[in-house]
Homo-oligomer: A and B are copies of this chain.
Amino acid sequence: MHSFTEENYLKTIYYLATRMEGEVSTNALAEMTATKAASVTDMLRKLSEKQLIHYKKYQGVRLTEEGERLALQIIRRHRLWEVFLVEKLGFGWDEVHEIAEELEHIRSDELVTRLDAYLGNPQFDPHGDPIPTSAGQMPETGYRKLSEVKMGELVRLMGVLEHSTEFLQHLNHFQLTLGCSVAVTEINTFDKSVLLRITDDRMVFVSHEVAKNLLVD
């Protein structure tokens, strides 16, 4: 069996691998896991011995098939629990990440199977992230960033890239919720900020920084 710590490293390697080309670096992992590079090196040696990663000294790291399978399993659990917390217990989408960080490590395949069924086999978590299938596939979403949408286009808000409480509460404040339709009515060339017309004709003004973290369909 694998420790919580090992599971968190696998998840982090998966996350970084999707966001950078090539291998994942020791320093990037140290920053993400809030540890020091030396600690990361120790763990990489261990994960490598367990054949969960491909690792050559100084050359960065990549998940093996088994490592990726495990990472996706943990991400699946995390996202299913987030759905539970929001849909069944009524938590806000800005409140569930930390709790799911703990729940994702509960070891019981039967539990995940039943939870999935109980939630109605959801395809997306409360942040619009796709839930890996029980077979271990990460579904592809063709979403673009709102910051890449052309003037005049009409799109729907489908997910967020940034998951911090502060960002999500910022969206709450502007009543920008997943599923709402968004028309790009103005793009300022100076700072790339955008003016949106959303579902009930309300106008919302968002910075480029925000637009870069919104995914649309």
Interface residues of A (CB under 8 A from B): 85, 88-91, 95, 98-99, 102-103, 105-108, 110-111, 114-115, 118
* Contact, CB under 8 Å: B106 / A102: yes
Within 8 Å CB of A110, what residues of B? Answer: 91, 95
Q: Which of B98, B106, B114, B118 meets A103, CB within 8 Å?
A: B106
Q: Which of A89, A91, A105 neighbours the largest number of chain B CB atoms within 10 Å of its CB?
A: A89
Contact of A91 among B89, B98, B114 (CB under 8 A): B114
Query: How many copies of the chain does the oligomer comprise?
Result: 2
Contact residue among B85, B89, B111 (Cβ-Cβ distance under 8 Å from A89): B111
For the complex, give the distance between the alpha carbons of A185 and B98 in Å: 55
Closest 7 CB pairs of A and B: A89-B114, A102-B106, A99-B108, A89-B118, A99-B111, A103-B106, A88-B118
Contact partner of A114 (CB less than 8 A), chosen from B90, B98, B115, is B90
